[in-house]
Amino acid sequence: MTYFRSLLVALAVGLYSPAMAADGVSVFPDTSRIVSIGGAITEIVFALGEQDHLVARDSTSVYPEAAFKLPDVGYMRQLSPEGVLSVNPSGILALQGSGPKEAVDVLKKASVPFIEVPEEYDHQGILDRIRIVGKALGVDAKADALVAQTDARLKAVESRVASVKQRKRILFILSAQGGKILASGSDTAASGIISLAGGVNAVEGYTGYKQLSDEAIVTAAPDVILMMRRGGPETSEAEVLGNPAIAQTPAGKAKAVIRMDGSYLLGFGPRTASAIHDLALALYGGQVAN
């Protein structure tokens, strides 16, 4: 698996020929007017110092603050081809999972080069993402420098997390509206960040997000509830802890809820080492302190 994954990344960044990424290119012929779709992609572009190439971003691109100066082409999973193309881009740089599929298919068939960046929720996936974005913009040297810096930071925090003896069970709740708990299974950003921070996803047996029954919540027996802070209307901690099933769990009894900014926690970009550290510190305190 590691070999094949490395080969695919090499193909995407153009180390092998022909370079393959979406419409067949891995480097934009013209980088003057790029649309960035996906918060992590936009963060990487800014971290590379290449933000002047951006003419628009999607609504998940909320960091850094300067990104808000760019036109918003909509939520990355509910794109309109007309909206994206209305800014007259010279290239579209999109995180895998952008949608809907029909809209992405239209964009890939348009005359504008479209490069899709794989979405992997682990250490290597972050480095691969930086390399691919750097390659797309023609700044490989800058990308290599950012990869080295990010890799060192990730290794440092992973070394501290490795010292944790007793791993806590974490239930990531995406939504709790109407008392219905929508929680993360495997193969999600939430599950990835839980693992990197030294936790164990409390639910298993499915991928993506799923509404849990009361029985499933009690059986999961989480030690901690993890949620996003979105900056707008959101389910309060009191509402979550007031759920009868949650109240029966160790997390409910201890009122153990951790809330972190969504783009910071789940971005899997240049800031992820810091997010891992902050989550691990909230979970384990002095065990992972600097």
Reading the block at residue 272, the tokens are: 């992820």
| Residue 83 reports pLDDT greater than 50 | yes
Question: CATH for 169-287, among 3.40.309.10, 3.40.50.1980, 3.40.50.2000, 3.30.450.20?
Answer: 3.40.50.1980
Do the first three CATH levels of 2-157 and 169-287 match, i.e. the same topology? yes
Please tell me the pTM assigned to this model. 0.88
Q: Where are the domains of the chain?
A: 2-157, 169-287
3-state helix, strand, coil in the chain (%, to 5): 45, 15, 40
121 pLDDT exceeds 80?
yes
What is the CATH T-level fold of the domain 2-157, as seen in this structure? Rossmann fold (3.40.50)
Of 100-104, 153-157, 174-178, least confident by mean pLDDT is 174-178
Residue entry with tokens 């972190």: 260
Question: Residue 128: CB partners within 8 Å, gap ≥ 6?
Answer: 9, 12, 13, 118, 120
Each residue's pLDDT tens digit, 175-230: 988 889 999 999 999 999 999 999 999 999 999 999 999 999 999 999 999 999 87
Integer Cα distance of 223 and 129 in angstroms: 32
